[in-house]
Amino acid sequence: MSRTRLAAIQMTSAGDVGVNLGEARRFLEEAARGGVRLAVLPENFAFMSAEESARGHIAEADGAGPIQDFLARTARDCRLWIVGGTIPLSSDDPDRPYAACCVWDAQGQRVGRYDKIHLFDVRVPDSTEAYRESRRTTAGSEPLVIATPFGRLGVAVCYDLRFPELFRAMLAREVDVITLPAAFTQRTGQAHWHTLLRARAIENLCYMVAAAQTGEHPGGRRTFGHSLVVGPWGEVLAENAGGPGVVAATMDGAYLQRLRDQFPALTHRRLTG
């Protein structure tokens, strides 16, 4: 593994798919001009609506549709690996598509698909906010780790971040960098976003690239932003504490291997069953 530029794209997505794709294209082109090789889009980057049921209206068949075509074309045009946020892909239940995070290589070929496993069915403490993602989304069941030119890449999505066993499952597949498209709420983000991302990086001695939604969306929902690139020692390498944009940092494969060799905590694990 060599040194590789990684980027998280931060957006304030709304209900117009065309506008959102145009914004994503602009940021992905900016990342490519900056020497980035892997760019991560946020959860629901192409569409955020006040009505949960509206996601079903833009759901695509696996492998075909305007959002997937856009990502393949942009990856090829920009010569960029893209982790495509989440896209609603059809399931057996027409009212509950998967929240799918797909990966395209720099030739525009899709090389992986992860369906969000943990769905956000919560009431946010000390607030009026309540969510039941499972009403309109079918959960996935399998982790994803794939080989890339810059190391082994894992994918998780938003609420998955709270479940360390998923990240250990990726570690068992020798993951080096984990990407996390997200749309954390303002309140939960303030409380836990930085802590959880740094913890997942530290305990797995890996890089984390977290691309977030930020600001206010249709229906008054507010998201936390603060897209991050975190190093394997838990260091925040780059952060976007403002509005939409690109944040990037360098993944150093030699440093990662040296750290794992000198601080071999991953080999000291005992309770692995």
Looking at the annotation, which residues are catalytic?
Answer: 43, 116, 158
Residue with tokens 């794209």: 9
Q: 52: exposed, middle or buried (C-beta count within 10 Å: 0-12, 13-18, 19+)?
A: middle
- 78 contacts 32 by C-beta, under 8 angstroms: yes
For the chain, give the number of residues.
273
Q: Which of 89, 92, 51 is nearest to 67 (CA)?
A: 89
Distance between CA atoms of residues 230 and 50, nearest Å: 32
Torsion of CA 235, 238, 244, 246, to 10 degrees: -130
Alpha helices in 119-270 (DSSP H): 164-171, 186-204, 253-262
Helix (H) or strand (E) holding 31: helix 17-33
Residue with tokens 């944040």: 247
- 170 contacts 129 by C-beta, under 8 angstroms: no
Angle between helices 17-33 and 66-78 (to 10 degrees): 20
Residue with tokens 């977290």: 210
In a 3-state reduction of DSSP, which class is residue 1?
coil
Q: What is the DSSP letter of 185?
A: B
Distance between CA atoms of residues 181 and 33, nearest Å: 22
